[in-house]
Chain A
Amino acid sequence: MAHVVGTSARRKEGPEKLSGHARYVDDYRIPGCLHGVTVRAPIARGRILGIARDPAFDWDGVVIATAEDIPGPNVVTLIEPDQPLLAAGEVRHAQEPVALVAHADRSRAYQAAAHLKVEYESLQPVIDPAQSEQVFKSFLIERGDVVAGLAAGDLVVEGTYTVPHQEHAYIENNAAAAWFEADGTLVVLASMQCPYYVHKALKPLFDLPAHKVRIVQAVTGGGFGGKEEYPNMIAGHAALLAKKAGRPVKIVYDRHEDMLATTKRHPARIRHRTAVKRDGTLVAQDVDVLMDGGAYLTLSPVVLSRGTLHATGPYDCPNVRIRSRVVATHTPPNGAFRGFGAPQTLFAAELHMERIAEAIGADPVALRRKNLVREGSTLAVGQVLRESVGALQALDECAKRSGFRDKRREYARWNWRKDQPTWKGIGLAVVHHGSGFTGSGETHLASRAAVALTREGAIVVLAASTEFGQGTNTMFSQVTADTLGLPYDWITVETPDTSKVPDSGPTVASRTCMVVGRLVRQAALDLKAALVAEHGRVPHTRAHLREAALTLCGDAAERRFEREYEKPSGMAWDDATYRGDAYEAYSYAAVAVDLEIDKATWEVTVHRVTSVQDIGTTVNPLLAEGQVIGGTAQALGYALLESPVYKDGVMLNAQLTNYVIPTSLDTPEMDVAFVPAPYSNGPFGAKGVGELPMDGPPPAVAAAVHDATGLWITDLPILPERLARAERERKAPRNRK
């Protein structure tokens, strides 16, 4: 049997996504369905004094729900029980949901929402995270003696870096439909990443046992983290209206509402102090991270954790201190976004490496080569990297493919000539990204996945891992097919529906391939063993497989082989001290960005991105490359274009006219390559890929901008006006009298 792992088997659900037949939430016709609309607070902080209907409005057919209608506690369960489903009493951020209305006619529902008058008393909000006194979570990670280390280097390089909010801008906005079956079962159909998160949140809200809540993923038009935790909220709203109305209710956000109200990437300010020897050896890294969590805790502690654990970059340094905290502000809660804290801290770490290179006059590639992690290296948390460390290989390959050193020389000559209309630059970064949950997260989660053989001889993968563009279904099918030695086309993947699939945990954290893929492989191995025991081998014809299925299934409709997460042997993590093996394995990437800057307009044009990664075995090269290309495009947007503007805690540019995301014109040619360092516990040696491409491009862009102009732009995004201002300040420093 030809192997399918390692080949570019075509996306399972490709054809239906190209014919218009894939069904996203709003494509379902649900009989009797009402349209729900959310009434949101216009102020960042205040007290709700009262909610009243405008007597002049015709309320016929309008259903209204407020916090009082919630059967259980008014809490959206996630990490801490601090976020209400509907604000009651107090408002803690602009756009916080206060009430819900529904009507059979969509525009009537919007009109009704506008006529529901909520009276507020405004309070002074805290918008600046540096002023916040409420700390959601903090970490301190230490290795060696940072104070002694800072004194022991030949010089200390300091820098402060900031990164803004980033909007997910999935093209399908958040959407959910909910209804109650005749037996009282609550059913939710939604655009989402994590069906079991929604399941967990809705049970207590509606005071229902697990089997009376059923969550089904519709085809999902992009997530990028933005549909990790937010669906709990919109699904809860749709369900509450459905309960009140006694009819199905669908809520589909428009673009403006989605951008104003839903989660964003955490903004951050990161400070570095690094002691280094003249020869480039890192002696001490002292890092301070401040993130803005927004009004409720949501996932902030875990975002901070990942940001903290990636804050030094992929380097082995004997003396490290990382102090980090995420604080509350009266702004919409920030949440998961591809990279989950790491793009923020890696931007700072990698741009800081460039400044170190400049300070000691070192070649940036050589400086990194000297300090990069390799097998046997120790990280700040005490983790020893035992295997699968492809950072150096990625860097060398990236430097070679991009022609880094030649380009630096060529561009130096170009930039030296004052009559040229542009500056050119090339910059580079190396990043790592831990696959799976942090520390003991996977053990606590205890995910399960299964492979079933049905009486009809179908082989079905059962997992709650969702497909939202990454290729989950395809990858699971490849792993299962190769494990059984059967054709790829014989494998089907069940829709993530909590009434059908086990809880495989959320589809986040670059964990689906490495962690859930491994469970699927183990389950498939169990099926294989059962087939071999019964028949001497895995049947290779459909007819024989059907025969085997009849005996294996007995009287049942299917025979299911389920596996639960087991920690790989030798892994240890201590939650109390936050030390040990922070991640099972890390993926690595080296990224070079080649760009040109117009001297008149300061416009930056990226010509080429070279991205080389070690993601272990590439299960599906074409899908993996797709993840790299797409993540890189988002990262370039973060670096150069996406500039959310806030005033008093409200996003002012919550539309695609002036919150600009990359178009085809902003997305350059990319040269993507893989240098696999297989991981022994990954399925067929695979590690994670989804988030890694978000990490490297922003610091590589900033490094290239410096190469081109000599300007250090330490705040994202690198807009033309920011460059122009930096140039003015260089020419006329403010402190010069």
Chain B
Amino acid sequence: MTRLTVNGKRLELDADPSMPLLWVLREELRLTGTRFGCGMSLCGACTIHLDGEAVRSCVTPLSAAEGRHVTTIEGLSPGVSSAVQRAWIAEEVPQCGYCQSGQIMCAAVLLREKPQPSDADIDDAMSGNLCRCGTYQRIRKAIHRAAKDIAGEKA
């Protein structure tokens, strides 16, 4: 039995503790917003938050989430998700969209840790998240825009 909190809900799961969290989320909990791209920690499509840190759910076993908080794209706090989504739409970021859950989950952590990130901060945080549609420079702009937006809301 693994005890964990997913998107604010406390759960007890009796799935195989070695099962990657990605599959627990997608298959057991039907949280399909977290995507599979490679299964080898190489693309970032499966990024989620584990106690607020961005991790790759495809290589994180369920057992690693014991007693911890998991957040997926579906459970991103409304304040952050709406600021990020507004910025992503304003900059017309998504193309096929497949990588974007992972991009947004990664960006959300960055924005919390560095509310006014520099381009270098963004590259540092985001360069592991692949986007074959090539939306990188728009993601960078959208992160700056979201940072301003969040700062404005707080002021």
Contacts and interface: CB of A to CB of B under 8 A. Distances in A.
B132 A27 contact: no
B94 A11 contact: yes
A220 interface: yes
B96 A170 contact: yes
Nearest to A226: B132
Interface string B2-34: 000000000000000000000000100011111
Give the dominant DSSP class at B's interface.
Answer: loop
B50 interface: no
Given A14-B94, A19-B73, A655-B42, A222 B100 contact: no
A623 interface: yes
Contact of B89 (A18, A169, A223, A662): A18
A172 interface: yes
A470 interface: yes
Interface string B141-153: 0000000000000
Interface stretch (A127-135, A241-249, A625-633, A721-729): A625-633
B123 A665 contact: yes
B52 interface: no
Interface residues of B, number: 51
Given A469-B96, A655-B42, A171 B126 contact: no
Contact of A171 (B33, B45, B88, B137): B45
Contact of B132 (A17, A18, A23, A634): A634
B93 to A, nearest CB: 8
B100 to A, nearest CB: 6
Contacts of B130: 169, 171, 656, 661, 663
Interface in A659-687: 661-665, 667, 669-670
B66 to A, nearest CB: 22
B121 interface: no
Interface in A451-504: 468-471
Max chain A CB contacts within 10 Å: which of B42, B45, B73, B132? Answer: B132
B128 interface: yes
Nearest to A23: B32
B134 A221 contact: no
Max chain B CB contacts within 10 Å: which of A17, A222, A667? Answer: A17
A254 interface: yes
Given A168-B132, A169-B132, A222 B98 contact: yes
Contact of A657 (B42, B85, B95): B42
Interface string B109-150: 000000000000011001111111111111110000000000
B121 to A, nearest CB: 12
B95 A470 contact: yes
Nearest to B99: A171
A656 B38 contact: yes
Contacts of A13: 97
A170 B38 CA distance: 11
A41 B135 CA distance: 37
A292 B127 CA distance: 34
B56 interface: no
Contacts of B72: 20
Contacts of A17: 94, 96-97, 100
Contacts of B38: 254-255, 655-656
Contacts of A663: 127-130, 136
A669 B140 CA distance: 11
17 contacts: A11-B89, A18-B97, A19-B73, A19-B74, A20-B31, A24-B98, A170-B132, A171-B98, A223-B96, A470-B95, A626-B92, A629-B138, A656-B43, A663-B128, A663-B136, A664-B123, A664-B140
Interface of A: 8, 10-11, 13-15, 17-24, 26-27, 29, 168-173, 219-224, 252, 254-255, 468-471, 622-623, 626, 629-634, 655-657, 661-665, 667, 669-670
